[in-house]
Chain A
Amino acid sequence: MAKILIVEDDKHINELIKRNLSLLGHNCISCYDGKSALKYLYGEDYDLILLDVMLPEISGFELMRKLDKETVIFVTAKGELEDKLQGLSLGAQDYIVKPFEMLELIARVNVVLHRQHKDSKIFQLGNTRVDLQQHRVTRNGEEVLLTPREFRLLEVLIQNRNIALSREKLLELAWGFDYQGETKTVDVHIQKLRKKLNWETEIKTIQKFGYRLHG
């Protein structure tokens, strides 16, 4: 659960990012131009700033130069190599080009938060507690034993919770790109997780698509 400032002048896109990240439990604050961003940043600390480059009056790059030690990901339509190089050399953690898929944004945000040690290590849902760092799951205080693969799948569901993931995507994220197997194995493992954690309703089946963790 991180505190994220979204600096994007297009209200709709700003809203879109905010809603998606909120699903993951992050606390998101929106602002629409550079000046108000500075005002927000002056008073408080943020775990992450999502910064657009094309802002009125003061560009994202200029704003970046005024920041110090902030964790920043650039989210912008300016996709030329020079722009990317400039953004990254100014000290940004990542540089995403619009248009992008939500899952990609979420994955990159997670990686950056993890790198900065600002991601939450514990996920709690009902009486189940998942320690992502120690790879332990407890239910009502009692440990639940999961195979490494099952845990990895659980981790993926948690990191993308409230968002539907296709079977192919789950396979890719939990088994890796090299895996040559069938998506049937995803169904099997989901079943196992449901049984072990008693999460029949929490892990929802999305018809003809995949699964979604509600939490």
Chain B
Amino acid sequence: MTISRTDNTKDIDNIELRTVLRNLVLKIDEYLLKKEPYYESLKKIGGKVREFDEDGNIVTSKIVSFQIVSYGTVFQSEHFYRVHNFCYELDRYNSGHARYFENRENKSLLPIYDEDQRTGALWYHARDPKICPSQKDYQLMYEVNIVPAEYKNFDNYQECNQQWKNWYEMIYDLYSDVNSVLATNYMVKLDKNFNIYSGVFLTFSRKLIGIERSFIKDWCQQTLSKITSENLIPDLYRHAIRQATRAAISQVMARNMSHNLGSHVMSRLVTEESLMHYLSYNPPR
């Protein structure tokens, strides 16, 4: 799996933003793989799939690619986002993926991490290694593969839109043998000149029917909305607060010259007598 990386690393010295985006990816992990409500969503998807799948085939998704792009150069009068490449920290995502297995008896869902599962080897619960369910008790419901994501900022909508199209085409080209794809996106408008798009692209091992698409799309939209809105915006807010703090400190510092030097020292040097008091001074030799 390759994901194009950008070489344009201008302005990635924004430490807070880097943290924001890192947290964002961690949240993807959390939402998709760990949170209870999403197990329920997945169960619904699985349930609906089974309900409508006359052949009894399960749906497996091969790849989820998550991307955020935005256009707009200015956020609160400052160049805000540029290109970030945080792939090196996401090594574990390169091989990490999650599978959801459903227990055939009690229908509980179990998220599993293990590369070996792909090949059918023994596998263990990601959280509790003591659990080693027998494969026959579980059936594969949903497989999610997180790949390193990118964030890009563009100066205008046309470039952003083109990037969006390029991303679709790239994924499509890579997985042209799949039977079904679903892509959906979510937009957040932070400022009149600044929008953030987040998108997810899934491929499926068989063609989805309408209601399946609808459920999966809803699930994706919920996920994207939570990830983008709840996590990104508070971090943007935190960033804005730091900028405001900086501006407040600058205000205080700006008065330093007049307060220390002006009112205490220079105010005593405004008459001819006061100047001559010093100018006439010659040190003894």
> Is chain B found bound to chain A in the same assembly?
no
A contact set with B: CB distance below 8 Å: none
B contact set with A: CB distance below 8 Å: none
